[in-house]
A and B are shown apart, each in its own frame.
Chain A
Amino acid sequence: DQQVKQNSPSLSVQEGRISILNCDYTNSMFDYFLWYKKYPAEGPTFLISISSIKDKNEDGRFTVFLNKSAKHLSLHIVPSQPGDSAVYFCAAEMAGNSGGSNYKLTFGKGTLLTVNP
């Protein structure tokens, strides 16, 4: 059973417009959420994160919004650039059982973003 869901396998937007990538989760024990970006033939790279005590975190063109009651988060990219074209993974984390020493990520399947010039 998938605990982190990215229901849109792909998204296509025009350069300069806003890209909105969505993510839903089912486990209320998740307390930290991350977005990773992955280019072909490379590993995922960390993009932005948000703690469950916040509802928004912004870093340049990237903003992540968290709606805990809906168990939903979204990543906004404004303005979108062709270099943003990649697979975006949503991931969620909770402190493990060993006194919080085992942080583990649960990933969604990813959304392929294509930004057209």
Chain B
Amino acid sequence: DAMVIQNPRYQVTQFGKPVTLSCSQTLNHNVMYWYQQKSSQAPKLLFHYYDKDFNNEADTPDNFQSRRPNTSFCFLDIRSPGLGDAAMYLCATSRVGTGPRTQHFGDGTRLSIL
């Protein structure tokens, strides 16, 4: 089945230690998104890639970076995680231009900061 896969499902890192979360997709979608969701809050868009074009949200901290080396993969890098960065991180994809305007989500990575 075509899908969006996030690895790892759970990630524990130390305060200030860089961490990378990964997302892959077999849907061949041209847009990939990264969301941050904290408990009982709405998922918050951090940034997205439209093909190779990176689009950062205005209020996304500089501490958060992203890479998309090819159509299938997208990475979220947190350069110096703080306690406030503990959250669920969701990756999503969509095909913009034709067809339904829906985003397909992975199961998320739960990030904990020690």
Contact = CB atoms under 8 A, between A and B. Distances in A.
Contacts of A101: 50, 96-97
B45 A104 contact: yes
A41 B110 CA distance: 9
Contact of A46 (B40, B43, B102): B102
B40 A43 contact: no
Contacts of B50: 98, 101-102
A102 B48 contact: yes
Interface in A24-69: 32, 34, 36, 41-46, 49
Interface string B26-46: 000001010000001111110
> Which of under 10, 10 to 19, 20 to 34, or 35 or more describes the interface residues of A?
20 to 34
B59 to A, nearest CB: 12
Given A98-B50, A101-B96, A107-B42, A93 B101 contact: yes
Contacts of A107: 42-44
B103 interface: yes
Interface residues of B, number: 27
B101 A43 contact: no
A43 B3 CA distance: 11
Contacts of B6: 43
B105 to A, nearest CB: 4
Nearest to B51: A101
B26 to A, nearest CB: 15
Contacts of B48: 102, 104
Interface of B: 4, 6, 31, 33, 40-45, 48, 50, 55, 90, 92, 94, 96-97, 100-108
Given A42-B108, A104-B33, 9 more contacts: A43-B6, A43-B107, A98-B55, A101-B96, A103-B31, A104-B45, A104-B48, A105-B33, A109-B40
29 contacts: A2-B42, A9-B40, A34-B101, A42-B107, A43-B92, A43-B105, A43-B107, A44-B43, A44-B90, A44-B105, A46-B103, A89-B42, A96-B55, A101-B50, A101-B96, A101-B97, A102-B50, A102-B96, A103-B31, A104-B45, A105-B33, A105-B45, A105-B103, A106-B45, A107-B42, A107-B43, A109-B40, A109-B41, A110-B40
